[in-house]
Amino acid sequence: MARVFKYLISLLGGFFALRLRNHCWLILFAVILAPAARSADILSMDIASDKGTYTMTSEVWFDATIEQVFEVYQNWGYSTRFSSAIVEARDMEPDEKGRAQFYVRNRGCVFFFCQSFERQGYVESETNLVLRAFANPETSDFHHSNESWKFLARDGGTVVTYDLTISPKFWIPPGIGPFLIKRKLKDNGGRAVDRIEIIAQELDVE
């Protein structure tokens, strides 16, 4: 009787082991065959400096609709969520010409050198097409700071082309300073894109 019982146990054990192996193979095939989730992709990024003026041009693809991505960029309050360098950002009341206003305060450190700087200015926009931001030199720590974002639907997502030209008023260490500033711009931009995509995907816009 004991032998029969052990035999039945071994049969059941083999059966469940086979089911488990088959189940594991099914899971493995499901993982392999499942479409990979796409994430934000930096298509290009160029940064240059010349006599105290810095320029940056980039193209980024986001796995989100053009309406979602545009909403993130046009709302300055989202900036603190996707960029650790921005400690304060907000939309402001329109100026006397009816132009939307913005305020941004950044803080960053490069080795021992830390700097806090502000930008305040106006925005021009065409919904879901382009945003342009111009800092007012009288209320900003820049001789000029001009930015533009162009939006284009592509491959089921959105491509944003970004152009930046800035000329800081504050002191930058000579020699290695420009190199470090360019590296900071690249690193901060690279870290921000995934956060922008996450915020965009959470938005319910049409």
Query: Residue 93: how many CB atoms within 10 A of its CB?
Result: 6
What residues contact 46, with CB distance under 8 A and at least 6 apart? Answer: 55, 56, 57, 58
Say what the pLDDT of residue 185 is.
60
Residues 60 and 142 occupy one common structural domain:
yes
The pLDDT tens digits for 159-185 are 999 999 999 997 776 665 555 666 666
Q: What is the pTM of this model?
A: 0.75
In the beta sheet, which residues pair with residue 152? 159
Residues 82 and 134 occupy one common structural domain:
yes
Say what the pLDDT of residue 114 is.
74
Per-residue burial over 121-147, b if 16 or more Cβ lie within 10 Å, else e, is bbbebeebeebebbbeeeebbbebbbb
**Is 48's pLDDT higher than 70?**
yes
Residues 112 and 45 occupy one common structural domain:
yes
DSSP symbol at 117: E
- Amino acid identity of residue 79, one-letter, is S
- Split at pLDDT 50, 70, 90, the class of 5 is very low
**Is 142's pLDDT higher than 60?**
yes
Q: Which two tokens stand for residue 123?
A: 């925005």
For the chain, the average pLDDT equals 79
Average pLDDT score over residue span 176-195 = 67
Per DSSP, the three-state class of 75 is coil
Average pLDDT score over residue span 75-97 = 91
Query: Where in the sequence is the domain holding 27, given as residue range(s)?
Result: 1-34
The rounded percent of the chain whose pLDDT value lies above 70 is: 69
Asked if 142 and 133 count as a contact pair (C-beta separation under 8 A), the reply is: no
Say what the pLDDT of residue 91 is.
95
- Split at pLDDT 50, 70, 90, the class of 28 is very low
List the CATH number of the domain containing 164.
3.30.530.20
Residues 96 and 143 occupy one common structural domain:
yes
Residues 130 and 74 occupy one common structural domain:
yes
Cα gap 23→160, rounded to integer Å = 43
- Amino acid identity of residue 95, one-letter, is D
